[in-house]
Amino acid sequence: MSALLGLTAHELQKLLRKKEISSGDLVKEQLHKIKQVEGEINAFITIAEKEALRKAQNVDKKRSRGEELSPLAGIPMALSDNFLTEGIRTTGASKMLENFIPPYSATVVEKLQAAETVLLGKCNLEEMGLGATTENSLFGSTHNPHDLQAVPGGACGGAAAAVAAEEAVFALGTDTGGDLRQPASFCGVIGFKPTYGTVSRYGIISGASSLDQAGPLTRDMTDCALVMNVISGHDPLDSLSVAPNNAKDYTSFLVNDIKGLKIGIPKEYLEGVDPEIIAWLQQAAAKLEELGAHCEEVSLPYRDAVLSTYQIIAAAEGSTNLARFDGVRYGFRAEGEDLDTFYKKTRGQGFGAEVKKNIILGTYVLSAERYETYYLQALKVRTLIKEELEKKLQDYDCLLLPTTSTVAFNFSDERAKALAGETAVLTCPANLAGIPALSLPWGRVKDRPVGMQFLGRAFAEETLFRIGFALEQKTNLTRLSPKGKGVC
């Protein structure tokens, strides 16, 4: 049975349809694996064992009756713990929501439930999604399955680690500035950030509303397409979701042919990237050329402005969103002799250092004295960055970059931690412009995964899926299992 844990959702679905296995047996095997490795990985905050077994049993009954089921029916999956789940604890990895049981579910969760997927549990993340290592969590650090001394990335490090460690077949996370793609790269799985508005944000604990987008973490491109088929589409509860007539079949994009595609490599963004990762980038470009695409270096301005622009906007929107956590209506509350003391104690004790820092910075840049100097200027620069990306993507089908400038670093590496935020310069442009981006595993450096990133035109996910699928079919570099010092 243990051989099942390395299979993808579509591979498992074939076995389920033939009734060679049952969803109940599969879920039991996954729960057993979680119990085996969680002491080392710490990918989960909450494990919904009873709910998962009950759901699997219901799916098996429907299958035995010959009912028509979705391609993901009975497949065990996980959610980053910033997706609201009715009746199941949702914490945001924060003391502020340590015991919060939501009265409703996020739209994407409802869609997954309708597709009969099986939720195994909620995964660890940086508190309120703020950070790059998954160390700033009330529930402790998550460890990288490929090397337990290394960070898994963040903010959705728990979800990426769960997929990499074969604790879940796939997972959902959110991407504000690379929070899904960076841990996907560090943990050697696929991470996909769709075009802004493609997936509903309703019922997701928001970090920065104009930057956030939910997306899948999977083991291969077919699973990525199957998950996108379920979670994407219009939602009347999200005013910025795509139009109702924008439905797509992502599996139709899985075409093993990239002949004629033009791919640009922004040379300015390669500054500061480790030489070993540059070598893997060159190998990826060579493989793309071999498959019929054309790759060339291009110039993309405003690289030095990306990080500061992102940080100002993310902090401003984050501080506004976090204002709702005041201890009055729900969540943690501290006692105080007056209203002012009550607020100070609640937010002072309920939030960790990283969240407090974000609130202070966001409040500062939004203050009357600093609004025009910082926030308004950041919005203007964001427009410039977006326009330049759109211009470049008129000439090229997509852009190729490393997902991160270095592989996963050790928890003890203070120098690397200091640079962790700066590596976001590679992932933030996609969020600032609202365009789709795909992180694909591409080899290793010292047994730690490397990720390659493809940025496409808005609502042109088809190109990224074609490229990812073609590379997956023609190489053995995109499926990485933990080895060495990691979890076997």
| CATH number of the domain to which 171 belongs | 3.90.1300.10
Nearest CA-CA partner of 96 in 329, 344, 332? 332
What per-residue confidence (pLDDT) applies to 479? 86
Q: Do β-strands 262-266 and 294-298 pair in parallel, antiparallel, or remain unpaired?
A: parallel
Average pLDDT over residues 37-47: 98
Host H or E run for residue 191: strand 190-193
pLDDT band at 66 (very low <50, low <70, confident <90, very high): very high
Judge whether residue 467 has pLDDT over 80: yes
Single-letter amino acid, residue 352: G
Host H or E run for residue 46: strand 44-47
Cα R_g (the chain), whole angstroms:
21
Average pLDDT over residues 163-190: 97
106 contacts 88 by C-beta, under 8 angstroms: no
Structural domain that includes position 31 = 1-488
223 contacts 191 by C-beta, under 8 angstroms: no
Q: Quick check: pTM over 0.75?
A: yes
C-alpha 271/C-alpha 273 separation (Å) is 6
Average pLDDT over residues 112-116: 98
For 210, residues 6+ apart whose C-beta sits below 8 A from its C-beta are: 196, 313, 317
What per-residue confidence (pLDDT) applies to 140? 97
Overall domain count for the chain: 1
What would the DSSP string read from start to end of 421-438?
Answer: TGGGGGTHHHHHHT--EE
pLDDT band at 2 (very low <50, low <70, confident <90, very high): low
Helices (H), 115-214: 157-164, 181-187
The predicted-structure confidence for 135-176, as pLDDT tens digits, reads as follows 999 999 999 999 999 999 989 999 999 999 999 999 999 999
What per-residue confidence (pLDDT) applies to 172? 98
> Which tokens is 154 given?
């963040």
Judge whether residue 420 has pLDDT over 70: no
Q: What percentage of the chain carries pLDDT values higher than 90?
A: 88
As a whole number, the mean pLDDT across the chain is 95
> What are the C-alpha distances in Å from 350 to residues 296, 330, 332, 439?
50, 12, 6, 34
Nearest CA-CA partner of 221 in 248, 197, 255? 255
pLDDT band at 245 (very low <50, low <70, confident <90, very high): confident
Measured in degrees and rounded to the nearest 5, phi and psi for residue 123 equal -100, 155
361 or 329: which leads in pLDDT: 361
